[in-house]
Amino acid sequence: MNWASLVGDWDRVLIPIFRTQYFSNLMKYLKINYETQQVYPEKSDIFKAFKLCPYYKLKVVILGQDPYFTNGRATGLAFANPESSTTLSPSLYKIRDAVEQDIYNGMALDFDPTLEKWAKQGILLLNTALTVRYSEPESHLGIWHPFTKYVLKHLSSNYGGLVYFIWGKKAANNLEFISKNGNFVYQYEHPAYAVRNGRPWECDHFHRATQVIRTYHDEELIW
């Protein structure tokens, strides 16, 4: 298989796990799931987070849970919505508002709901599970755990100076695989939790990341 066509320049990073028996079994399991059940995102988008975020540009890792499991919103990028969406998902609505407050002083901005502009700047929008069955949140969380663990441990061992956004308890379960030595790890509650409890989601990670990237990489992030 031409993995570069699916994951871009991450192929050299991911090929070791792609060649394992675990991953072969995972692909067989997903093939059956996609043939017999409704699974999100589309098969062609499973590894979209990697393909759109060049490895050599990587600056920020935003760790989600699993893809949206209803309404066909899942795109392969954590928290993103399809370009065709007429409204934002509740989590992305909270994220957009937080960006406006944290970066733009509450002023309206030209927000890209696909989050592809973020990805192309080097922001890895990684769900801890890359697939999910329709209306069954966390249904594929366990099968993707070794893959997520591999990615995070590789980054901790080979790619310092990264900013990590850890939102919610499920993302926090992966903290043991992320080295805080030389990285910047910021934790906050999941935006969906704020939605469920009817309160603002006042996350300041965006300006923190901007300052880090400006200082250590001499680059600007555009949120």
Residue range 180-200, pLDDT digits in tens: 999 999 999 999 999 999 999
Q: For the segment 85-126, what is each residue's pLDDT rounded down to a tens digit?
A: 889 999 999 999 999 999 999 987 889 999 999 999 999 999
Taking the alpha carbons at both ends of the chain, their separation in whole angstroms is 35
Whether 44 contacts 32, CB under 8 Å: no
Domain that holds residue 41: 4-217
Residue 156: which pLDDT band, with cuts at 50, 70 and 90? very high
CATH classification at residue 99:
3.40.470.10
Active site residue 66: yes
Residue 223 located in a structural domain: no
What's the pLDDT at 134?
97
The one-letter amino acid at 30: L
Residue 222 located in a structural domain: no
- The partner residues of 163 in beta bridges, in order of sequence, read 60, 184
Would the pTM of this model clear 0.85, i.e. be above it?
A: yes
CA–CA distance, 132 with 136 (Å, rounded to integer): 7
Q: Which of 9, 45, 66, 102 is catalytic?
A: 66
Cα 153 versus chain centre, distance = 16
Candidates 194, 204, 68; CA nearest to 125 is: 68
